[in-house]
Every structure is written in C-alpha cells, then in structure tokens.
Copies of this chain bind each other. A is one copy, B any other.
Amino acid sequence: MLWTNTLIPTLRTAPKDVEATSHQLMLRAGYIRQLSSGVYDYLPLGCRVIKKVESLIREEMFRAGADEVLLPAIHPAEIWKRTGRYEALGEDKFAFKNRSGQEYVLGPTHEEIITELVAASTKSYKDFPLTLFQIQTKFRDELRPRFGVIRSKEFIMKDAYSFDCDEAGLEKSFRKMAEAYRRIFTRSGLSYEVVEADPGLMGGKVSQEFMVRSPYGEDTIAHCKKCGYTVSRDIARRSFEAAEPKHGDKPYEAFDTPDLKSIEELCRRFKLKPEELVKTIIYIADGKPVAACVAGGHEVNEGKLRQLLGAEAIRLANAEEIEELTKAPLGFSGPVGLKGVTIVLDADILRMKNFYTGANEKDKHFRNVSVARDFNYDLVGDIRFVAAGDSCPSCKGRLELVTTMEIGHIFKLGTRYTKALNASFLDDKGMERDVIMGCYGIGVNRIIAAAIEEHHDDKGIIWPLSIAPYDVVIVTLNEQDAETRKVANDLYAKLGTLGIDVLYDNRDERAGVKFNDADLIGIPLQVVISERNLKERKLELVRRKGKEASFADIAQAPQIIQDKVKVSPQP
C-alpha cells in the first residue's frame, strides 16, 4: 500500500484523559478513532491487524478440527428468555423492539443461538463430536467503557462451541481448544497465564482463563512465586492453621455508633484498624439464613461460602430479612446473641480477640468481643477472597495478587444450554440424551491491545511479525529524487510479488516526520532509502525492535528482507 493512498492520521501527542498505553498508541498511530463512548472506528492499519489476528485464529481453529459458521447479531429475545439469561444480563445488553413489536437482543455471545441451530440440525450420536466457531461482532452495553478497545461496547470475538455425547468427549474437545488457545496466544507474541476461573454468568462447572498481566485489566489472579500456583482471585484458596479461639481479657460491651454502618466509617470515627473488626454479612442459602463473619478489610467470597455450606444457591439477604433476623437495620449485624441463623466464621477470626462487631441493635456496636466466650458458631473455614500475603494452599508460600486482563476464557458448560433448548441426540442404543457442551471465547481486539501493552517503547508500537499490519515499511528520505523513487517503486513491487506486506511511505515530507511515524506505527522492518546510500547502491534496513541497523545491496535486498520478515516456525 502507498501511504498516500491510505489514511494514517498520526498525532504528535497523546490525547488527554487516555490512560492505557495501548489506547494512547492506537490513537496516536492512527489505528482507531472513537465514534462514541466505547465504540471505535478501525482505520486501515487497525483493520489490517484485526485481519491478521483473525486469520491466525482461524488457522488454529481449523487445525483443531473446528469448522466456521457465521451467526446473526440480532437475536429474538424469546430464545434468551428460554435460558433465563435475558433477565440475568440485565442492563448489560442492548435490547430493542422493531416496527412490528418483535423484541430483539444484540448478541453479546451466542450459546443460545448455536445450541438452537445444533438442536435443529443433528439427531444421532454419529453427528458428534462437533466444534463450530465464528469470528463475529459482539455488543455489550458496558456501563463504564475504558482503556480503548480493552473494554468497549462493540468488539470482535472468536467464539467456539463444542458438542459431545459424553463427558469424556467434552474433556477431549476442551483440551483441543485449550491447546489451540495456547498456540494462538504464543503465535501472537503474548506472555500469558492459564488460570482456573469462575464460570460466572456463563454457567457450567469448570472454566479456564487466559490472562496477560496488565495494569489496565479488570481481573486479579493469585500467584505463588514459590510453587507456581496461579488461579483467578475469584476462586483462589489459602491455607490456614487450625486454631483454638482466643479468649479475650475484657468483657464485651455495647457503645454508641450512630449512623456508622460501615467498617470504614467506624475505623475513621474511633481510630480503629480494620483488622480489629469483624464484619457480619447475612445471606440466604437454600432458603435458610446464614451469618458470614470475616475480618474487617476482607470480603466474603460467596462461592467459597456456598461450597463450605454445601448449598445449591446463595444470595444476600435483603433489608427486610436482615431486620427480621437481627432485629436491627442493615449495618449493625453481629454474631453475638444471634438466634436461628447459621453462623459461619472465616478462619482468620479464630486468631482474633477483643474485636468489634455489630450489636444487632440500631446505632450500637460491641467492643471486646471474643469467639466461643461470647457466641457460638456452626462452621469455620476459608470464606473470604484471598489477599496479598495469604498462605499458598499448595505450598504455604506467600500469595501475591496480580492485575490481569482476560484475553480468552474457555468453559465446560455441560448441559446448561442443551437442556433448556432441547438439544438432544439418540445414542447407539436409541436412547435420547442431552448433548454435552463447551464454549470458548477470545477477544480479538484485546489480543491487539495486549500485544501493544507488551511490545512498545517510548517511540511507539513494536509489532510482533505475526500480527503486524505490514511486514515492511519503505521510508524514502527525499521523495523528490527520481532515483530514490525508482528504487523504492522497484523494491515495493518486488516485495509484493514475494508475498511480503509492504507499506511505502511515499509522502513528500521531512525525513524526521517520516522516521517518527515509522517508529510510531511499529512496522517490524524499516527500509530506508537515502540518496547518500544509493550512491553505493545500498539500502539501510532497520529493525523496529531495538533499532538495530544493517545495510544491503539493492540487488540482494529483496532476499535479505524476505529472510528478516520470515515468521519463525509455528510452535
């Protein structure tokens, strides 16, 4: 492509209020432009990177035996209601009616749509295993779009869905996809981690997240440097020593705390540290009330609590229920004197004494409370989110917390969707059974942002060859010079016939501007054509990464360039 035939509106300075490095660089280098909050135009360079990433993903999907489909973006709301996700998505979805009153959802994902397709198009165990994928635009009404394409309202996903006859089949399909994901991220030049995660809204029991470390991510992983334990913070556990409750030396007593409902307010007013307080949260687990107690400054992890209780479903109690159970409004709950409620303690609390709790009375708290002496409990265990410094559950090393960005997430869904949408098959004995499903998502735009976060310097982007918009940029120092133009045009044509993606900066601009732009847009190899070097029939080749320079004879240049931009063999 000739620079003068395309649109690369580079900016000298970063726009204001743009936090993420990748967001800044994509704007400055003319890859994207914001159309409205969380919605972006992809300019030619941005579009080329998308196509490169898409084709790399497509290759790996085909290699893993998946085939491609293309499903619609506008879905009848009715099918989302059948799985209960219409409601579960709440305001995160875009939903609308058309002129004739038909209700639609703009697809945020496609489990429902593909399951219905497969249900209608298959009947026998012979039709499985089957894995289908698509690369398609998704829509979510993000409340707070941030960091450019990292968290946006319209984005491109590769979503794949596996369909199997049994759990063993799912296991095999899941492993194939996990392997494909590893290849995709490695080939994209990303340093990533695979962590066990919480399936959340998607459903199913097992999921794995593919994460890159990034200050602009919205996830956290717990990591142990000693043994390598790495898990999403949502489900990370900690080890703790069994302990006998410590008896306090002072009797507990009530004191006035008017309108002080939160740990923060209490600490500020009475100059306390959070670790001197115990927070009591009332839940309803399978219809029965539960008081979950954790040390101040920590948060109850509902998943862990549910597991410790062996409950099916758990939810926060509402204000009315709290008032009925504790005889006090929200903000003043505590374990002392609480009747008819299962009391569950986080293990931390067994090592605390003389702590503060709510008094189950409006505007009152207790001080000097101690476990066992002042109240009994039903269960004790690990029911809070892990914190930095917690003990690793596998080696007792110290856990650290790392902010990460999710670039892929794969799920063993089981029959969550196939049951609801009647996707069944006849097995080899003629019995009808539910299809077993998995789903597998990659954010195309996030791969791009993550690659920039990992590969840049203060001058701009440094693309990995595998997903660079162009392999080579030809930079002429004096476009007015006829000989320069001739050599540049010949090289441009020759590299094209060799299948190399070349951008030729044929602008009649100052060399400084052209060098800065070349560095900013990050094409891996720069070929500089100057009158001085042409006198010796030479070109200068500069690798964007490290700016390492060398010279090549004009005649041999195409071959040398081809060698330099060869993508290393696939992993």
Contacts and interface: CB of A to CB of B under 8 A. Distances in A.
A472 interface: no
A216 interface: no
Contacts of A153: 74
Contacts of A117: 33, 35, 41, 43
Instruction: Name the prevailing secondary structure of the A interface residues.
Output: mixed
Most chain B CB within 10 A, of A39, A65, A91, is at A39
Contacts of A497: none
Contact of A7 (B91, B121, B126, B137): B121
A36 B105 CA distance: 12
Interface string A70-93: 111111100000000000000100
Most chain B CB within 10 A, of A46, A68, A120, A132, is at A68
Interface in A88-110: 91, 94-96, 98-99, 102, 104, 106
A425 to B, nearest CB: 13
B47 A69 contact: yes
A73 B37 contact: no
This chain: copies in complex: 2
A292 B362 CA distance: 84
A9 B121 contact: yes
Contact of A44 (B5, B7, B69, B120): B69
B68 A37 contact: no
23 contacts: A1-B67, A6-B130, A9-B121, A33-B121, A35-B75, A35-B76, A41-B70, A41-B113, A42-B69, A43-B121, A44-B67, A44-B68, A46-B69, A47-B134, A48-B68, A50-B70, A73-B137, A74-B139, A94-B96, A94-B98, A96-B96, A98-B141, A106-B106
B42 A74 contact: no
A30 interface: yes
Interface in A2-47: 4-7, 9, 30, 33, 35-37, 39-44, 46-47
A311 interface: no
Contact of A72 (B40, B130, B508): B40
Contacts of A1: 62, 67
A361 interface: no
A65 B3 CA distance: 11
Place the interface of chain A in its size category: 35 or more
A65 B5 contact: yes
Nearest to A71: B41
A91 B99 contact: yes
Contact of A154 (B35, B72, B132): B72
A39 B74 contact: yes
Contact of A137 (B75, B137, B141, B508): B137
A118 interface: yes
Interface string A125-165: 01100111010010101010000000001100000000000
Contacts of A39: 72, 74
Contacts of A516: none
A559 interface: no
A480 interface: no
Contacts of A376: none
Given A35-B75, A95-B96, A5 B67 contact: yes
Given A7-B122, A33-B120, A42 B67 contact: no
Contacts of A42: 69-71
A41 B72 contact: yes
Contact of A121 (B30, B96, B104, B122): B30
A74 to B, nearest CB: 6
Given A7-B67, A48-B68, A94-B104, 7 more contacts: A6-B67, A7-B121, A9-B122, A35-B113, A50-B70, A73-B139, A137-B137
B94 A74 contact: yes
Contacts of A131: 5
Contacts of A508: 126
Contacts of A33: 117, 120-121
A62 B70 CA distance: 24
Contacts of A154: 72-74
Contacts of A104: 94
Nearest to A96: B96
A44 B39 CA distance: 29
Contacts of A116: 35
